[in-house]
C-alpha cells in the first residue's frame, strides 16, 4: 500500500503550461548535495546501557556525502532500488513501499523544477524575481495572487493612488508591473511604504503587505497598529559589506540560543548592534562556537517568541534594519562564531492585514499558500498551515532559505515545529511510542517531507558546511540521514526528552529518589546513526508559567542568598551544585552537540514573560540581568565559570564529537554514574551527603589519569575537596580480552575520591610528552598565561601515598574565581610550553 497523504490528488503539482514558465534568474545545472554520514551502524540500545563503539576519525569539518563519494541509493529500472537506510536499520525495509513512494515524489519534484526552472538553486532565487527588484532602468514588482481579479501597486511613491500603477496577470497567477526610473533614480524610493492592492472575486478591495517584502515597520505610538511594508533598497554607500568569512564547521556544535529583543538588561527591546557589541563577546568568552538567533523573521506579536511569522523575508524591525543584522552576523564570524537562524516554515501567523494569510481570500488550495478547511489551520497554535505540494509555495519557502543564507551569511537553520510538518495530525494529541507504523503510514505528510528533502538538499548544495537542526519530538527514524540515503537530510535533531526528565525530577522527586539508570537511559536513548543536540533547558523551559532550572532549584533564596560574602545556605549550595551537574552530564552524555539558552549559563533566575496586558506591558521579565554575573560578590559567577570550563573541555578533548560512549556504572544506592566519552572518564556523584574515598572507576586504557575538570573546585563555587595534582594509576582487571572477567566490563580501573553532588572528568596523561616536558624544564607556572586560568593551577597540600591514591585530602586552598570574563584553557602536563 502506498503511504499517501490525504490531500494532494496529484503527486507532482505544478502550473501549466510549465514549459513556458519563466525561470527566476540565470539558468544553471542541477546537482546533488547531502549531509554527513556517521559511518557507524549501531544495533538497538541494550538495557545495560554499556555501549562501546569505535572512535570516529577526527576532522576539522564535514564534507557532504556526495562530495565524499559515499555509497548512495542503487537504482533499478524504475529509477528506485535499494536505499542505504535499509542497511542502517533493517526494520525500515518493512516500509519499502513508503520510502519508494516518497523518494519518487522527491526525485520527480526535483526533476520537474530542474526542467522548468533551470535548477533547484535557480528556483530558490525567487527573491530576485518576486517582490520589488531593479531590472535595467526600471523597478519591477511581481506578486503571486491567482485569486485576485484586479491589482495595483500603491505606496508613498504615488500617494497611495494606484490608478496609474495597475498590474497585469499572467497565466500562472503572477501579477507584475514595470515602473521606469525617474531622472535615473528608482520611482519607488528606498525606505518608503508600499502595499499590494487587489480586488478579489467578491468585489472587495484589500491592501496587503507584499509577500516578499524585506522590511516592515509599525507605528509604535498607535496601539495595535498593523505593520506597513517598506521597500528596502539602500544606496551603495549605506549597504553593509561583509568583511569576514564564515568560520569552519566544528566537529560538534556548542550552541548559544539567544533572543535579540530580550538580550539587554534595560526593560526595553534590545537591538542587533547592541547584541553584537555587548553579548557576542560574552558568548565567545564562554567558549561556544555557534549562536542560534530566535525571532529574526518579522512577527507582529512580540510575545509569540518569533514563531508567528507575518513577513518571511523581512528582518524583525523591532531590533533594527537589515544592515544592522548583517553587522551582527559579520561580528559573530569575526569572533569565530557560526550563526544559525530559527526558521519557521511549519506555519504562519493568522494575521490577515499584515501577514501572508491576507492573501487567502477563500480561494481553493491550489491558488493559495495554505490548505483550506481544517487542514490549513493549526488549532493549538491559531495559525495557518502551508500547502507544501504547491509549486509557488515551494518557490517561496526554498527562496526564503536561500535569501537568509545568501544575503545575511547565516550558516544554517534550526527548523521549528518539524513534528507538525511531518504528520497530517500535526502531532496533536499524539504520544509517540516508537512503533514504526506511527512514522510511516497514511498519517505521514509526504508533501512536507518532500519539501524538507528539497530544502536540505538545497542548503547543503549552496553551503556544504551548513548546519541544519530539526525540532522534532516524535523521533522519526532517518530524519537526520542524508537525502541520497533515503533520509530527510537534517544534520541534527534536538533531544527534546532530556529537559522533561530533569523537570520531572526537580519538581516531583526527592534527591534520593533520582534513578541513575533512568538518567542514563534518557540521555543515551537515541538513534546512534543520527546526531542529536542535547540540552538541559532552552527557552521553552523558562517561559511564563515555568521557571529556569536555577530558579526551580533555589527559588526565592536567589533573592537573598547569592551573596558570596556570607556562607551559602543548604538550598543555595545544593542548587549551584546540581545546576552544574545537570548541565554537564547532559552535555557529556546526551548527544553530539550541546545547546544553552541565553542567561542559563550563569543560572538566570525567575522566568520569561513578554510584555502583555496581563503583566501591565512590563519588560521586567523580558530581559537578561547581566549585572548578576558581572557582580563579583554574587555566586552567579561560579555557574558561569563552570559553563566556560565545560565548553573549553570539549574544545580541548573533543568528546562531543566522539562516538566512543560507554556507561559502565549506574549505582542506585550510591547515586553514582560513571561513563567514558572519547578520551575522558566522567564520574557523577548525585548523592546528597555521601563521600566515597577510594571509589573504583572502570576505564578502557591503562596508564595515569588526572583531573581535567572538577565541579567542586573553589573557582566554581565548590568546596575544593578533590585533588587536582594527584596521579591515579590504573590496575588491570580480569583476563585481557575477556570482558566478563573485567570490572564493570572495563579492562582497567583506578580509584578516586568522589564527594557528594560533584562531577569530575579525568584524562589519560601522555607520559611520553610529560617526560619531554620535564626534560625541557618547563615549570608549572608557565602553563598559566595572563587572562587565562588553568584548571590544574589549584595548589594542593602534600599527601601520603594512601591519600595520593584516591585524592582524599582537600586540594583547593586558593579561591581564584573572582576573575570575571575569564577564558578557561585546559592545560595538562603533556601540553608542552604554551
Strand 290-294 to strand 254-259: parallel, antiparallel, or no bridges (unpaired)?
A: parallel
Torsion of CA 384, 389, 392, 396, to 10 degrees: 60
Beta-bridge partners for 200: 148
CA 135/CA 179 separation, integer angstroms: 10
CA 364/CA 367 separation, integer angstroms: 6
Distances (CA, A) of 105 to 80, 100, 450: 11, 9, 7
From the list 117, 138, 131, the residue with the least C-alpha distance to 29 is 117
- CA dihedral sign of residues 322, 196, 308, 534: negative
416: annotated active-site residue: yes
400 CA to centre of own chain:
18
**Nine cell digits for residue 265:** 538588561
CA 777/CA 534 separation, integer angstroms: 42
**Nine cell digits for residue 71:** 555509497
- Dihedral pair phi/psi, residue 143, rounded to 5°: -150, 130
**Nine cell digits for residue 759:** 562531577
From the list 398, 426, 410, the residue with the least C-alpha distance to 467 is 410
Q: Which positions ≥6 away from 382 have C-beta within 8 Å?
A: 350
**Residue 358 burial (CB count, 10 A):** 20
Instruction: Name the catalytic one among 416, 606, 679, 712.
Output: 416
150: annotated active-site residue: no
Q: Which positions ≥6 away from 229 have C-beta within 8 Å?
A: 193, 194, 195, 209, 210, 213, 215, 216, 311
CA 286/CA 683 separation, integer angstroms: 23
**Nine cell digits for residue 444:** 505521514
Q: Strands, DSSP E only, in 640-787?
A: 661-667, 672-677, 680-685, 692-699, 704-710, 728-729, 731-732, 748-754, 758-764
- Give 89-92 contacts, CB < 8 A, sequence gap 24+: 89/477, 89/478, 89/529, 91/436, 92/436, 92/477, 92/478, 92/486
Instruction: Name the catalytic one among 143, 207, 228, 471.
Output: 471
Contact 229, 216 (CB under 8 A): yes
**Nine cell digits for residue 395:** 518557490
From the list 430, 396, 401, 399, the residue with the least C-alpha distance to 413 is 401
Residue 769, burial from CB neighbour count under 10 angstroms (0-12, 13-18, 19+): middle
Beta-bridge partners for 349: 383
| Helix pair angle (446-462, 391-408), 10° resolution | 30
CA 683/CA 445 separation, integer angstroms: 44
DSSP single-letter state for residue 544: B
CA 390/CA 396 separation, integer angstroms: 10
Distances (CA, A) of 589 to 95, 288, 538, 584, 662: 31, 18, 17, 8, 9
Find out whether the peptide bond into 17 is cis, omega within 30 degrees of 0. yes
Encode 529-540 in three state secondary structure: CCEEEECCCCHH
Q: Which positions ≥6 away from 566 have C-beta within 8 Å?
A: none
Active site residues: 416, 471
Amino acid at each position: 500500500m502506498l503511504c499517501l497523504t490525504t490531500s494532494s490528488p496529484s503527486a507532482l503539482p505544478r502550473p501549466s503550461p510549465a514549459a513556458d514558465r519563466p525561470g527566476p534568474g540565470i539558468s544553471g545545472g542541477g546537482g546533488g548535495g547531502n549531509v554527513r554520514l556517521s559511518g557507524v551502524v549501531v544495533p538497538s540500545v541494550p538495557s545495560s546501557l554499556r555501549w562501546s563503539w569505535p572512535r570516529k576519525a577526527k576532522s576539522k569539518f564535514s564534507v557532504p556525502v556526495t562530495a565524499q563519494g559515499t555509497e548512495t541509493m542503487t537504482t533499478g529500472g524504475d529509477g528506485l532500488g535499494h536505499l542505504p537506510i535499509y542497511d542502517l536499520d533493517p526494520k525500515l525495509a518493512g516500509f519499502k513501499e513508503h520510502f519508494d513512494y516518497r523518494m519518487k515524489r522527491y526525485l520527480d519534484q526535483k526533476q520537474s523544477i530542474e526542467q522548468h526552472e533551470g535548477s533547484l538553486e535557480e528556483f530558490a532565487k525567487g527573491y530576485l524575481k518576486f517582490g520589488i527588484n531593479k531590472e535595467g532602468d526600471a523597478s519591477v514588482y511581481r506578486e503571486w495572487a491567482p485569486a485576485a481579479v484586479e491589482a495595483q501597486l500603491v505606496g508613498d511613491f504615488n500617494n497611495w493612488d494606484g490608478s496609474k500603477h495597475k498590474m497585469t496577470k499572467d497565466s500562472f497567477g503572477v501579477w507584475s508591473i514595470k515602473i521606469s526610473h525617474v531622472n535615473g533614480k528608482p520611482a519607488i524610493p528606498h525606505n518608503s511604504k508600499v502595499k499590494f492592492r487587489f480586488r478579489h472575486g467578491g468585489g472587495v478591495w484589500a491592501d496587503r503587505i507584499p509577500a516578499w517584502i524585506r522590511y516592515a515597520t509599525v507605528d509604535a505610538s498607535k496601539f495595535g497598529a498593523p505593520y506597513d511594508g517598506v521597500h528596502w533598497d539602500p544606496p551603495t554607500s549605506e549597504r553593509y559589506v561583509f568583511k569576514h568569512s564564515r568560520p569552519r564547521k566544528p566537529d560538534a556544535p556548542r550552541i548559544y540560543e539567544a533572543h535579540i529583543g530580550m538580550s539587554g538588561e534595560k526593560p526595553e527591546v534590545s537591538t542587533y548592534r547592541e547584541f553584537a557589541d555587548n553579548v557576542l563577546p560574552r558568548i565567545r568568552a564562554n567558549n561556544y562556537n555557534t549562536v542560534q538567533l530566535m525571532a529574526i523573521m518579522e512577527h507582529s506579536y512580540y510575545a509569540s517568541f518569533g514563531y508567528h511569522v507575518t513577513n518571511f523575508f523581512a528582518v524583525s524591525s523591532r531590533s533594527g534594519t537589515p544592515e544592522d543584522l548583517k553587522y551582527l552576523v559579520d561580528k559573530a564570524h569575526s569572533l569565530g562564531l557560526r550563526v544559525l537562524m530559527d526558521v519557521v516554515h511549519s506555519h504562519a501567523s493568522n494575521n490577515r492585514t499584515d501577514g501572508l494569510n491576507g492573501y487567502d481570500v477563500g480561494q481553493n488550495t491550489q491558488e493559495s499558500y495554505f490548505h483550506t478547511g481544517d487542514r490549513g489551520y493549526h488549532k493549538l497554535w491559531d495559525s495557518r498551515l502551508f500547502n507544501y505540494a504547491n509549486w509557488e509555495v515551494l518557490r517561496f519557502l526554498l527562496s526564503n532559505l536561500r535569501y537568509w543564507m545568501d544575503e545575511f551569511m547565516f550558516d544554517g537553520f534550526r527548523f521549528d515545529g518539524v513534528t507538525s510538518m511531518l504528520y497530517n495530525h500535526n502531532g496533536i494529541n499524539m504520544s509517540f511510542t516508537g512503533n514504526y507504523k506511527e512514522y510511516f503510514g497514511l498519517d505521514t505528510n509526504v508533501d512536507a517531507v518532500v519539501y524538507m528533502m528539497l530544502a536540505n538538499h538545497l542548503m547543503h548544495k549552496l553551503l556544504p558546511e551548513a548546519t541544519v537542526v530539526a525540532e522534532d519530538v516524535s523521533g522519526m527514524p532517518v530524519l537526520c540521514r542524508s537525502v541520497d540515503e533515503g533520509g530527510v537530510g537534517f544534520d541534527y535533531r534536538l533531544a527534546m526528552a532530556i529537559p522533561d526528565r530533569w523537570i520531572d525530577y526537580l519538581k516531583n522527586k526527592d534527591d534520593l529518589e533520582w534513578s541513575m539508570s533512568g538518567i542514563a537511559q534518557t540521555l543515551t536513548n537515541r538513534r546512534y546513526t543520527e546526531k542529536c543536540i542535547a540540552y538541559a533547558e532552552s527557552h521553552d523551559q523558562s517561559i511564563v508559567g515555568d521557571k529556569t532550572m536555577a530558579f526551580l532549584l533555589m527559588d526565592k533564596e536567589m533573592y537573598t542568598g547569592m551573596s558570596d560574602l556570607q556562607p551559602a545556605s543548604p538550598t543555595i549550595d545544593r542548587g549551584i551544585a546540581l545546576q552544574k551537574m545537570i548541565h554537564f552530564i547532559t552535555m557529556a552524555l546526551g548527544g553530539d552537540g550541546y545547546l544553552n539558552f541565553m542567561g542559563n549559563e550563569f543560572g538566570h533566575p525567575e522566568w520569561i514573560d513578554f510584555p502583555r496586558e496581563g503583566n501591565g506591558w512590563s519588560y521586567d521579565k523580558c530581559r537578561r540581568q547581566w549585572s548578576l554575573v558581572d557582580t563579583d560578590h554574587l555566586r552567579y559567577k561560579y555557574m558561569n565559570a563552570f559553563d566556560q570550563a565545560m565548553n573549553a573541555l570539549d574544545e580541548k578533548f573533543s568528546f562531543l564529537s566522539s562516538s566512543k560512549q560507554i556507561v559502565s556504572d549506574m549505582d542506585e544506592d550510591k547515586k553514582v554514574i560513571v561513563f567514558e566519552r572519547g578520551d575522558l572518564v566522567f564520574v557523577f556523584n548525585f548523592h546528597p551527603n555521601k563521600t566515597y574515598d577510594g571509589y573504583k572507576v572502570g576505564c578502557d586504557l591503562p596508564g595515569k589519569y588526572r583531573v581535567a575538570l572538577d565541579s567542586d573546585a573553589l573557582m566554581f563555587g565548590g568546596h575544593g575537596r578533590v585533588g587536582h595534582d594527584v596521579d591515579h594509576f590504573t590496575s588491570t582487571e580480569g583476563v585481557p580480552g575477556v570482558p566478563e572477567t573485567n570490572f564493570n566490563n572495563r579492562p582497567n580501573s583506578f580509584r578516586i575520591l568522589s564527594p557528594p553532588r560533584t562531577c569530575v572528568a579525568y584524562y589519560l596523561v601522555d607520559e611520553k610528552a610529560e617526560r619531554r616536558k620535564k626534560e625541557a624544564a618547563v615549570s608549572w607556572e608557565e602553563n598559566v598565561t595572563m587572562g587565562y586560568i588553568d584548571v590544574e593551577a589549584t595548589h594542593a597540600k602534600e599527601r601520603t601515598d594512601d591519600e595520593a591514591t584516591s585524592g582524599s585530602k582537600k586540594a583547593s586552598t586558593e579561591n581564584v574565581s573572582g576573575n570575571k570574563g575569564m577564558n578557561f584553557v585546559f592545560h595538562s602536563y603533556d601540553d608542552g610550553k604554551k
